[in-house]
Homo-oligomer: A and B are copies of this chain.
């Protein structure tokens, strides 16, 4: 079943069928009706591959994430996908697995000629960067901040987020601060910010339970156990994610440690449970869905040839104080 078959049955030329389907306003109501009836009767499905080749418009946007299990990105994916679909774009999903396979992955993606590319983070191989720039495809990097993005960017400063966590805990009077921290890229930057503020305040040594990325509940338990086992004095524990924090709290409660009485706990991400646990969780809230929405809008704008005024959008973050600190 090709457009030619449909055309023959409907008694028009192939291009008229094409128009009836893609630009119905250019076609007489009469022929439109005729074409549509043939299409629905025959179950004809236009081959978008052929269309894409000729029109040089793939109607595909690629989205690359390190991984999606136990991660903060699902809300972003959902929002991104919803926005793009509304405009007739489909999402090609790439999961780069936190390993260094992003390279190959993006190489493969570029062959598909997507009209836009969403990337998680700003840490890409120089080669990848070059390739992306050379491709002239609109790119949005997200979930991080840099003055020199590949193209566009929607994110926030992890360094500042880490600093905010430190300042908050200091303001609460804590000086014996321990970390339970995942080891992914962006968490590392938050940690750096956090440590730098602590250092400024004369706290150079910070006991840390480092966990493989990304934060899982059980890792939080192990992290706290590790901290306590090390003999370090700890009056507050900062975590690189709410999930870790939840694990820390569970472990503390099992050990009869009161929160926030004995130890204050702070998370990151403002997952949907954070407001509702006991105690509710002090955390850093990120507009996860907003990032996806803004990224989609930025890509769509550029695809439609509009110049995007703000190539860098800082969505910021919000420290949400709750009962765990």
Contacts and interface: CB of A to CB of B under 8 A. Distances in A.
Interface of A: 43, 45-50, 52-53, 58, 60, 63, 67-71, 74-75, 77-78, 81-82, 85, 88, 90-95, 97, 105, 107-113, 130-131, 134-135, 216-218, 221, 243, 246-247, 250, 253-254, 272-273, 275-278
A221 B78 contact: no
Contacts of A45: 107, 110-111, 131, 135
Contacts of A134: 43
Chain B CB within 10 Å — which of A93, A246, A250 has the most?
A: A93
Given A45-B110, A110-B45, A275 B218 contact: yes
A279 to B, nearest CB: 10
Contacts of A276: 217-218, 221, 247, 250
A78 B110 CA distance: 21
Contacts of A275: 218
Nearest to A56: B49
A223 to B, nearest CB: 12
Contacts of A71: 74
Nearest to A105: B85
Cβ-closest 10 pairs across A and B: A217-B273, A48-B111, A93-B93, A218-B276, A45-B110, A91-B93, A81-B95, A49-B53, A68-B74, A49-B52
